[in-house]
Amino acid sequence: MENLRRFNDYISRKALDGYIIVDKNTESLVAVLQKEGKKINHILHLIITLLTCGLWGIVWAVLYFTNKSGDRIRVSFDESGNIVEEKMKI
């Protein structure tokens, strides 16, 4: 029962960080959570790039190439009763 409470508390904290629950099994205490990547407003960046004679294009390029597509994690317990967070491929 204590593990279920810790499990739900952990998932709640992750939800406050922007993760959504994709799958949750309270019997085996396993959950899959996903966080969407940041969206880039390309129209706004194009307008700013044109207004700054191309200088803003450097910032736009850095934002584009460093933007993550999102995270997906699997939350479970190990044999010792510790919460384990594994990164998954999307």
pTM for the full model?
Answer: 0.69
Reported as half-sphere exposure (CB side, CA atoms, 13 A), residue 3 has a value of: 16
- Structurally, the chain folds into a number of domains equal to 1
In order, the DSSP letters of 55-80 are THHHHHHHHHHH---EEEEEEEE-TT
What sections of the chain are H helices per DSSP? 2-16, 42-51, 56-66
What is the rounded distance in angstroms from the CA atom of residue 30 to the CA atom of residue 41?
35
pLDDT tens-place string over residues 21-30: 999 998 999 9
Task: Name the residue range of residue 46's domain.
Answer: 2-88
Q: What's the average pLDDT block by block, 10 residues per block, for the chain (90 residues)?
A: 90 94 92 91 96 96 87 91 88
Q: What is the pLDDT of residue 70?
A: 82
